[in-house]
Amino acid sequence: MGKKTTRLTRRLAITSLLALLVPIVLFAPQAYAESYVAGEIGLVKPQNLSDGKVTQDGIGGLDLSDQPLKNSLGLGGKFGHYFTRAHWIGIETGVSYSTPHIKEGSLTFTGAGGSATLSGLSGVHQRMITWDTDVMFRYPGYRLQPYIGIGPSIYFASLKGPTAPPGQSDVSFLGFNVEGGLRYYVTRNWALFGEGKYNRALMNYSSNHSDPNADPFGFRATYSALTFSLGVSYHF
């Protein structure tokens, strides 16, 4: 009687285990060569524009105080591929859009003759489109896959003040980004992910150097930002 009970219990345990494992084996995605497209939305938290220097014709060479930027909503899309022979290495490219406007406030100019501060300045609208291309590294798990990436970035930026329409713009190739995140496969093809990204670039707003009415005036500065986003990806 005891042996029969033991056998019955063992069969029941094996049957239960198989019933649990079969859907996991059938439906849990494997780590293999794959491509994907993704969309994401997040919060962009820029640091101050730093190391600023005036480049406008006639007043160039003055140092600028840091210019604080506003937080912004970020929207993005990307395409990636992980390789066949080394499915933990891939490449990803993506474009994102944000509006980290320059806050209203004061600005200090510093030169050989001393410094001067302008206060009560209106804010300046800034539009930033970023194109990232990264080498990606992932842990090729089944449903849960942490990943990191690093690579160069191109920045398409424009500034427009409230008093004169020309504004300033720049296309900067002097940028990079680092990202890290966690992806969870809901099905073999669909996944959810959350990630953090750091962007940094040298911007040179010089498109209207010869226009004394350009708002804002021409300058160069370092732009950097942290982005925290959530997204959904389709894998094929």
Show me where the domains of the chain are located. 1-30, 33-235
pTM of the entire structure? 0.83
Residues pairing with 141 in the sheet: none
The answer to whether the bond into 216 is cis (omega within 30° of 0) is yes
Other beta carbons within 10 angstroms of residue 44's beta carbon come to 25
- CA 195 vs CA 63, 167, 190: distances in Å: 35, 33, 17
Q: Which residues contact 50 (CB under 8 A, 6 or more apart)?
A: 66, 221, 222, 224
The span from the CA of 152 to the CA of 145, in Å, is 23
Strands 50-54 and 219-235: antiparallel
Looking at residue 58, its pLDDT comes to 87
Closest CA to 103 of 68, 130, 135, 57: 68
48 by Cβ neighbours in 10 Å (0-12 / 13-18 / 19+) ranks as middle
Q: Residue 166 CA to chain centroid, in angstroms?
A: 28
Instruction: Give the number of C-alpha atoms closer than 13 A to the C-alpha of residue 236, restricted to the C-beta side.
Output: 4
What is 33-235's CATH topology? Answer: Porin (2.40.160)
Looking at residue 162, its pLDDT comes to 87
Rg (CA), the chain: 26
User: Residue 102 gets which letter from DSSP?
Assistant: B
Looking at residue 24, its pLDDT comes to 40
| Helix segments in the chain, DSSP class H | 2-27
Looking at residue 25, its pLDDT comes to 41
> Residue holding tokens 């993506």?
94
H helices, E strands: number in the chain: 1, 12
202 by Cβ neighbours in 10 Å (0-12 / 13-18 / 19+) ranks as middle
Block mean pLDDT (10 aa), the chain, length 236: 54 52 45 88 98 93 96 98 91 98 94 89 94 96 94 97 85 97 97 98 94 89 98 97
Looking at residue 14, its pLDDT comes to 57
* Tokens read off for 44: 């962009």
